[in-house]
Amino acid sequence: MLRRLRARLTYANVMATVAVFVALGGSATAAALINGRNIKPGTVPGRALANGAVTSAKVRDGSLLARDFKRGQIPGTGPRGLRGATGKTGKTGPAGKTGATGKTGPTGKTGATGKTGKTGATGKTGATGATGGQGPAGQVTAHQSSGAPLTPPVGSYLATATVVVAASDASSSGTCAIVAGPAGSPARTSTGTVDFVVGTPPSKTIAVTGPLDVQVAGDSVSVVCTVASGGFAATPTRLDLLPFTPGA
């Protein structure tokens, strides 16, 4: 009921009611019955207020804006004052929470290859390993410690021989070689031909070696020396034949 009444109160209604109460009971009675809560906001115009009725004490601080004053009523802004001294640095605030881990960035390009480091010092010699087992004995197909002729199977061999040459004339010379062929007939093959001069003293040992093919079964292998000048005696002291594979 009161809300409906307040909503319908206007300045004209109020003033009419005040006039009735003043006429009937005087101004004191009207003032006691009507206050600011009974007046609808915005219904009392400025012209209805007596001069000096609104003082500074009746205005709420900070409620007036610049537009509420006439031009020239607000004093002009004075000159800028001197800058005050810098305040003391405040205390360091508490550390903030650790932020979330960022995404992994793209892989960078491969850097240039570094320079080769210096060669390290040579390590200590390791312990001597255990002695290995004895390997199979090499095959000597034919051997004559006296240098006498041999009769090996058909095949290829590495022939080695030593011959002692003796002569009264140091300038005597000749040729020695290892040959294979029928006994008493021209050789089929030969190897290791060595030309020599006896020299001083009038004797020397000649080594003859080379690959030799025995082409026919029954052919003999021997050392043959031929005189080129002077004269000498040739004595074979050793003749060995080892299996030999050409190109191996």
223: CB partners within 8 A, 6+ apart:
147, 161, 163, 176, 177, 178, 179, 208, 234, 236, 239
Q: Any idea what DSSP says for residue 68?
A: G
> Hey, what are 72's tokens?
């020239």
The predicted-structure confidence for 109-121, as pLDDT tens digits, reads as follows: 988 888 888 888 9
Neighbours of 13 (CB within 10 A): 15
pLDDT of residue 139: 45
Encode the chain (248 residues) as per-residue pLDDT tens digits.
445 555 555 656 656 665 555 555 554 544 455 555 666 666 666 666 667 666 777 777 777 776 776 776 666 655 777 888 888 888 888 988 988 888 888 988 988 888 888 888 988 888 888 887 764 544 445 555 566 889 999 999 999 999 999 988 888 999 999 999 998 888 999 999 999 998 877 888 999 999 999 999 999 999 999 999 988 999 999 999 998 887 76
Phi, psi at 57, each rounded to 5°: -65, -25
Q: How far is CA 86 from the centre of its chain?
A: 54
List the one residue out of 153, 173, 157 whose CA is nearest residue 165: 173
Return the beta strands (E) in the chain as ranges: 142-144, 155-166, 173-181, 189-197, 203-214, 220-229, 233-243
Q: Is the peptide bond before 75 cis (omega within 30 degrees of 0)?
A: no
- What pLDDT, on the 0 to 100 scale, is given for residue 15? 62
From CA 173, how far away is CA 226, in angstroms rounded?
A: 9
Q: Are 229 and 186 in contact (CB under 8 A)?
A: no
Which distant-in-sequence residues (6+ apart) come within 8 Å of 141 by Cβ?
152, 153, 155, 157, 241, 242, 243
Q: How far apart, in whole angstroms, are the C-alpha atoms of residue 175 and residue 196?
A: 6
Q: What is the DSSP letter of 47?
A: G
Residue 108 CA, chain-centre distance (Å), reads 11
Rounded-to-integer distance, Cα 179 and Cα 165, Å: 18
Alpha-carbon distance 106 to 216, whole Å? Answer: 80
- Is residue 239 a contact partner of residue 192, using CB atoms and an 8 Å limit? no
pLDDT above 70: percentage of residues in the chain: 67
Helices (runs of H) and strands (runs of E) counted in the chain: 3, 7
Please report how many Cα atoms fall inside a 13 Å half-sphere around the Cα of residue 46, on the Cβ side: 2
pLDDT digits (tens, 9 = 90+) for 122-166: 888 888 888 877 645 444 455 555 668 899 999 999 999 999 999
